[in-house]
Amino acid sequence: MAALYNNGFLLISMILAAMLALSLYLPLMAGQLSLASPGFYALGGYTAAIMSTRFFSPTGGAFPVPYVLAEMAVAGVVCGVVAIVVGIPALRLRGIYLALATIAFVEILRVLSLNLEATGGAVGIFGIPQPFAARIEYLWIAGPLLLLSMFLIYRLERIRTGRAFAAIREDELAAAAMGIDPTYNKVLAFTLGAILAGVVGALSAHVLNTWNARQGTFDNSINYLAYVLIGGSRTFIGPVVGGMTLTALPELLRAVADVGGLPVWLAEFLRNGRLIIFGVLIALGTIFFPQGMVTPELFEGRRRRRRVEPAGAGRTRDSAKP
Amino acid sequence: MNITLLLQQILNGLAIGGVYAIFALGYTLVFSILRIINFAHGAVFTLGAYFTYVLIGSRFGFNGVLANLAVPISLPFPVALLLGAILAGLCSVVVERLAFRPLRARGADPLLTLVSSLGVAVAIVNLIQYLVGAEIYTFPARILGGLPVAINFGSDTRPVPVRTVQIIIFAVSMVIVVLLTYLINGTNVGRALRAVSEDATTASLLGINTDRLILLTFFLSGFLGGIAGTLVGMSVSIAGPYFGIAFGLKGLAVIVLGGLGDIPGAVLAGFIIGLAESFVPAQYVAYKDAVAFALLFIMLLVRPQGLLGRAVVQKV
C-alpha cells in the first residue's frame, strides 16, 4: 500500500478535496448553490504562485513555511474581496440561475488566466518553490487546516449566523420576515466559501509545484458538487467524507487492478477505464443515496442525549431550492 | 473593416450561431419539460460527431481498445449525418432511463438529477476515450468533394472566401430550426409538448402520456445534439472525447440568454452569440471564448428571464 500513497500525494489530495468540498458546502448552508469554488481556488493558487516566484526570492534551500502561510492569508483576502464584489450582484439570483452565473464566473476567470501575461498564459506558472523535502510533510499544513475549517464550520452551525443561514436555506422569505437580512447572510456564506477555496488554492500551488488555467475549470465545479452531494449535504461531515472517498476512489480502482490474479481484460479495464466506473458510481450514488453517505440521522442518537431538540432538525428538507 | 470582410464575418457568425442554436435547442427542450439542465447533453454531442465519423467509413487511430479498426461500412455523408444523429438520439434516451427516470420516479431534488446526469456524462466521455483514445479526428476532405466550391467574395488578388462547410452548416441549421418550429407549433405532438412544459401534472391528468413524451423529448434533444456535434466536428475537427464539454458550457450561455426553456429565444440567442464572437477584434481573439460567458453573466443580472421572456412573478 505504501506505493499507493505516492509519497503522500494522494493523502494530501484527499485533504485538499475535503476542504474544497467544504468551500462549496458553506454557501449551500445558506441554500445557495454556487459552483464558483474552482474560480477562487484558481485565484488563490495564482496569488501564491505569483508571490512565491516573483516577489519572494528564496535564497536556495527550502522555501520558508511562514511565507507559505502568508501567501495563504493573502490569497484568502484577495478571494474574499472578489467574492464580495461578485457576490452582491450575483446572489440576487436563485437556484439554477445562480449556479449558471457562477459557472460563467469560473469560465471568465479561466479565459483571463489563459491569456494574461501575469498568469503565464497557457503554460502557466511553474517551478513554484517547495517548503518541504517530501510531499507527505505538507500534512503539517493541510491537516491542521482541515481540522480548523471543520471546527469553525462546526461552531458556525451553532451560533446566530449559522442559524440565520439555515433559516434562509429553509425559507428565504420567512427568514426575511423574521428580521434576518438575506443579502448580508448569503454574501457572507458565499465569501466564507471563497476564502476557504482561495486558501486551499494557495497551498495547492505549492503542493503541485505548478499552476495553470486547468486548475480552475468547470469539471472541478462538478467534482466538488459531487463530493458534497455524494458525501451528504446536510452536515459538514458529509463533504469531508465525500471529498476524501471520491478522490481516493480512482486510485483504489487502480490498486485493485494491480492486485493481480484478475483476468487481463478486467485489470486493463480497471486501469484505463477507471473513470468510466467513477462516472457510473456518481450516477448510482445519487440514485441509491439521495441524501448522501453521511446524514445527520447518523449522529442523532448521540445528540438527543445532550439536548432535547436535535440541532439538525428543521434542516432536513432538500438542500437548495430554486 | 471593408464590406467584403464584414460580409465574411457575418457569414462566419451565422454558421457558428446556427450550430449554437440547434445545440441549445436540445438543452432547452429538456429544460422546458423537466425544468432540469441535462448536463450529459455535451457528451451526446460528442457521441454524434463520432458516430458520423464512423459511419462515413473512417479509420480509428492508434490509441484505445478499438485502435486501427477499419469500419466495414461507408455511407454517403448526408445519410451518415442523419443516422449518426438518430444514434445520438437513442443514446440520449438511454441517458434518460439511467440518470433521470429513477430520480424522477422518486420525486428527488432536481439538484441530484444534475449530478446523476453529470455522472453519466463522465462515464460516456471516458468510455469514448477508452474505446478510441484521446486523439483528434478530422473528417476526410472527400466528404465535401462533391459539393460546389466555396463562394469567393472580394477580388482575385485579395479573395475573401467563405468555406463550403459554413454554408452547409448554416443551411442545415436553418432547416432544423424550421422543422422543429413546425413540430412544436403545427402538430399534435408539439401541442402535447407545450402542454407538458406549461403544467406537467395537469397535462397528464388530461390524458397526455408524460413518460413517453419525455422519452421523445430526450430523443429529439439527442438528435439535435448529434447533428450539432457532426457539424462542429466537420468545420474544425473532433477534438477528442472532451470536445463536447466546452461546447456544452457555451450552450448554457445560449439558453440563459434566450431564456431557459424558451425555444425561439434559444435560436435568437445562438445567432447573437455566434455573431458577437465573430466580431471580436483580431487582437482580442484569444478572449473570444469569454464573450458568451460575459453575455451570460450580464444577462442574468439584467434580465434573468431571457431576451424574449416575460418576468416571472415570485409566488409566495
Mean pLDDT of chain A: 85
What CA–CA distance (Å, rounded) separates A73 from A157? Answer: 23
What CA–CA distance (Å, rounded) separates A62 from A81? Answer: 31
Q: Does any CB of chain B come closer than 8 Å to the CB of residue A178?
A: no
Kindly list the residues from chain A whose CB atom is less than 8 angstroms away from the CB atom of residue B290: 107-108, 111-112
The pLDDT score that the predictor gives to residue B145 is 57
Q: Does any CB of chain B come closer than 8 Å to the CB of residue A283?
A: yes
In eight-state DSSP terms, residue B96 is I
Cβ distance B127 to A273 less than 8 Å, yes or no, reads yes
- Quickly list DSSP for A145-193: HHHHHHHHHHHHTTSHHHHHHHHHHH-HHHHHHTT--HHHHHHHHHHHH
Could you tell me which of A67, A276, A110, A151 has the C-alpha nearest to residue B287? Answer: A110
- Cβ atoms < 10 Å from Cβ of B267: 26
Per-residue pLDDT reduced to its tens digit, B207-254: 888 888 999 999 999 999 999 999 998 888 888 888 888 888 889 889
The pLDDT score that the predictor gives to residue B29 is 92
Kindly list the residues from chain B whose CB atom is less than 8 angstroms away from the CB atom of residue A222: 39, 115, 118, 122
Cell of B46: 460528442
Per-residue pLDDT reduced to its tens digit, A227-283: 998 888 888 999 999 999 989 988 888 888 877 777 888 888 887 888 888 888 888
Kindly list the residues from chain B whose CB atom is less than 8 angstroms away from the CB atom of residue A285: 119
Q: Does any CB of chain A come closer than 8 Å to the CB of residue B97?
A: no
More confident of the two residues A303 and B137: B137
Kindly list the residues from chain A whose CB atom is less than 8 angstroms away from the CB atom of residue B293: 103-105, 107-108, 111
Residue B157, min C-alpha distance to chain A (Å): 34
Q: Does any CB of chain B come closer than 8 Å to the CB of residue A265?
A: no
Cβ distance B126 to A278 less than 8 Å, yes or no, reads yes
Q: Which residue has the cell 422569505?
A: A173
Closest CB to B297: pick one of A105, A219, A272.
A105
Per-residue pLDDT reduced to its tens digit, A117-176: 888 888 889 888 888 888 888 889 999 999 999 999 999 999 999 999 999 998 889 999
Per-residue pLDDT reduced to its tens digit, B30-70: 998 888 889 899 999 999 999 999 998 877 877 778 877 77
pLDDT of A309 above 50: no
The pLDDT score that the predictor gives to residue A316 is 42
Residue A311, min C-alpha distance to chain B (Å): 23
Kindly list the residues from chain A whose CB atom is less than 8 angstroms away from the CB atom of residue B253: 104
User: Please, which pLDDT band fits residue A1 given cuts at 50, 70 and 90?
Assistant: very low
Cβ distance B109 to A318 less than 8 Å, yes or no, reads yes
Q: Which residue has the cell 440567442?
A: B269
- Quickly list DSSP for A38-77: HHHHHHHHHHHHHIIIII----SSSPPHHHHHHHHHHHHH
CB of A27 closer than 8 Å to CB of A195: no
The pLDDT score that the predictor gives to residue A273 is 82
Question: Among all residues of chain A, which has the CA nearest to that of B122?
Answer: A279
The pLDDT score that the predictor gives to residue A75 is 96
CB of B39 closer than 8 Å to CB of B195: no
Spatial neighbors of A97 by CB under 8 A, at least 6 apart, are A322, B256, B300, B304
Q: Does any CB of chain B come closer than 8 Å to the CB of residue A317?
A: no
User: Please, which pLDDT band fits residue B274 given cuts at 50, 70 and 90?
Assistant: very high
With a pLDDT cut of 90, the percent of chain B lying above it is 29
Cβ distance B111 to A319 less than 8 Å, yes or no, reads yes
Cell of B213: 413524451
The pLDDT score that the predictor gives to residue B260 is 83
CB of A131 closer than 8 Å to CB of A68: yes
Cβ distance A226 to B110 less than 8 Å, yes or no, reads no
